[in-house]
Amino acid sequence: MWTTAVVSGISLGSFYILMALGFALIFGVTRNFNLAHGELVVFAGYVSYWLWKVFAWPFVLTFPVAILATLLICLGLQRLFARLCEPLELNSIVLSFGLAILIQNSMLFWFSGDYRLIRIPTLSRGLRLPGFYLSYGQLTLLFLSLTVIAILYILMYRTYLGKALRATIQDKEAAAQAGINVAVMGTLAFCLGAILIGLAGPLYGCIHYLYPSTGHQITLLAITITIFAGVGRLGGIILAGWILGLAESFAVILYGSSWREMVAAVLLLALLAFKPRGILGKGEQ
């Protein structure tokens, strides 16, 4: 039973990492909190669902379209965020709160409140290993998340562009002084974030019911992981995602699934109360 919890925790955590990366990147570079993040993930999921269900597209082909759709929306959002003045963090929270309501209601209008699920039977099948069962779904999540993280790592730490991004994350003003076009970095962050969201959305639609108001939970998870990791620490996000995934898994086993929703909230509150700079204490507030 415990191995199942660990396995499910790690794979769930890997998915959480994927979901949180977009949020963390946008926040790190632009200091904008995007509370509409969850709604965007759900939106991407809906796009994928619609193509898969109504037009019978193969699931894998829905990804590029979902990503493109999310990209377009995120570019529009970025225009709005760019108009904000100080304090950026707080103003972006209020703005994106409004955006979340707008997007959520738009989805309610287009897709109705019915629960949707992208059923991919292959994903439920899996490997029977000593002591536990590993579904193809979990395997895909793990594999996909790690691949994306690896690509992102290469981008951030092995390219000049990544260096510019990291510089902007660390100190926007100093980066601007060094000749980095901070506005372009912001747009780039939104684009990368959109791609990550577009990837996470359809996956979310496979493992979880899609309905307009589920975005809220996703946003909470993304916030928790980002704050846990501290700003600009990629490694921290991986750790944070897995810890959160494991915490939820174990909470479900010990206390039943009805307490699951409180885990992220309690963790976030504890973080904010005691370690707002991130768990390793070196991120910025």
Q: Which residues bind other proteins (CB under 8 A)?
A: 33, 35, 80, 83-84, 87, 89-95, 97-110, 112-113, 213, 216, 220, 223-224, 227, 258-259, 261-262, 264-266, 268-269, 272-273, 276, 285
15 vs 29: CA distance, rounded Å = 22
93 vs 108: CA distance, rounded Å = 22
Beta bridge partners of 134: 127
- Phi/psi for 113 (5° steps) reads -85, 5
Based on CB atoms, which residue is closest to other proteins, 100 or 243? Answer: 100
3-state SS class at 33: coil
Based on CB atoms, which residue is closest to other proteins, 64 or 76? Answer: 76
190 vs 179: CA distance, rounded Å = 20
Q: How far is the CB of 215 from other proteins (least distance, A)?
A: 10
Q: How far is the CB of 26 from other proteins (least distance, A)?
A: 14
Q: How far is the CB of 223 from other proteins (least distance, A)?
A: 6
Which residue type sits at 12?
Answer: L
Based on CB atoms, which residue is closest to other proteins, 48 or 104? Answer: 104
Beta bridge partners of 249: none
3-state SS class at 126: strand
Q: How far is the CB of 98 from other proteins (least distance, A)?
A: 3
Based on CB atoms, which residue is closest to other proteins, 98 or 131? Answer: 98
Based on CB atoms, which residue is closest to other proteins, 96 or 138? Answer: 96
Q: Provide the CB-side half-sphere exposure for 249 (13 A, CA).
A: 21
Q: How far is the CB of 151 from other proteins (least distance, A)?
A: 29
